[in-house]
Structure 1
Amino acid sequence: MKVLVVYYSLYGHMHHMAEAIAAGVREVEGAEAVLRRVPETLTVDILEKMGAIEAQKAFSHIPVCTVDELADADAIIFGTPTRFGNMCGQMRQFLDATGQLWQQGKLVGKAGSVFTSTATQHGGQESTILSVHTTLLHHGMVIVGLPYTFSGQMSIDEMTGGSPYGASTITGGRGERMPSANELAGATFQGKHVATIAQKLYR
């Protein structure tokens, strides 16, 4: 059973979350986690001006996803940073290219889940995840979130991401904060939860 983890990362925050998601998937017997990046739409010049080139070297080995790979997966977990409370443009453009899959019903019945990051604590984590859910529902996917059995999302010991909509992390206004242990634990929990649900659907 293949679980595809498709994400966009600019400075590495979402890459770290994606790795934690994949680790959770692998905890389920018979589940294979496959990491893929969505295509970049920014030019090298823009990326250099944003100071992202060096950070992206850490995950440049992750292959870029093709639309056809979505159809081959048994479950798909999407990761996108927020852009004004919505998914990033790179993820939007990638999903906009899935019209043929929609016409053929290739994603109907597959488990679908989302994780995200925002600069601030109230920067649109839930609305960003919901913005992706809309597309997944149009594809007929079975939405899977992050249940409250992951108690870390109820913690008040630290400023932390995580909600029943999905795992998330807070990056800070300049991207200086990497995912905390609690946020990574939420991502791992979500990966395992999605793989468990997907396995039931697969059977």
Structure 2
Amino acid sequence: MKALVLFHSLYGHIYKMAEAVAEGVTRVEGAEATIRRVPEAIPQETLERMGASHAQQTFAHIPVAAPGELSEYDAVIFGTPTRFGNMSGQMRTFLDQTGGLWMQGALVGKVGSVFTSSSTQHGGQESTILSFHTTLLHHGMVVVGLPYAFKGQMRMDEITGGSPYGASTIAGQNDREVSENELEAARFQGRHVAEIAKKLAA
């Protein structure tokens, strides 16, 4: 069973979550995880003004995906920051290039899942994941979230991301680190997706 973890990250939070998701995938026997990123559309000089250029260097070694690659995997787990309650423009642009896969039905029956981040505690994490699901359903994918079997999403002793729709993190003003509970949610989601995809692939 092969899973693709495809992400867009600006300040590195989603990249850290992507690594944890991939780790979770590999906890399933016979499951392989590949991490790829979507192209960054913001010019380098603008990234520098935004203070994002240093963070971008931490995942510059991750290869950029091509839309056609998605059909090579049994599951695709997408990571995107929240942009006004929706996926980022970079992720949207990438998905808008998958029309050929849609015409072929190349993703029908494959597992799709989403994780996200936002600056604030109620910054559109759930709407981002739910609106992302629309694209996956149009592709005929089997949508998988983060079940309450992951007890960490019910914690009340700390601020944390996570919902039944998918793992998430709160970035603050890009100065908050991804918490261990949020990373564990990402690992759980990766493993959960891999377990389901493995059964479907069989």
Give the TM-score normalised by structure 1.
Answer: 0.99
User: What does residue 160 of structure 1 align with?
Assistant: 160
2:28 is the counterpart of 1:44 = no
2:192 is the counterpart of 1:201 = no
User: What does residue 188 of structure 2 align with?
Assistant: 189
Aligned AA (2:198): Q
Deviation, 1:32, is: 0.4
Deviation, 1:44, is: 0.9
Paired residue secondary structure (1:6): strand
Task: Give 4+ residue runs of structure 1 displaced > 4 Å after superposition.
Answer: none
Q: Gaps spanning 5+ residues in structure 2: where?
A: none
Aligned AA (1:106): A
User: What does residue 102 of structure 1 align with?
Assistant: 102
Question: How far apart are the structure 2 equivalents of 1:37 and 1:69?
Answer: 12
RMSD: 0.5
User: What does residue 175 of structure 1 align with?
Assistant: 174
Question: How far apart are the structure 1 equivalents of 2:63 and 2:177?
Answer: 23
Provide the aligned length of Structure 1 versus Structure 2. 202
User: What does residue 10 of structure 1 align with?
Assistant: 10
User: What does residue 130 of structure 1 align with?
Assistant: 130
Cα deviations by residue, 1:39-67 (Å, 9 ceiling, x for unpaired): 11111111111111111111110000111
Aligned AA (2:102): W
Cα deviations by residue, 1:76-96 (Å, 9 ceiling, x for unpaired): 000000000100000000000
Give the TM-score normalised by structure 2.
Answer: 0.99
Aligned AA (1:58): T
Cα deviations by residue, 1:83-126 (Å, 9 ceiling, x for unpaired): 00100000000000000000000000000000000001100000
Paired residue secondary structure (2:127): helix
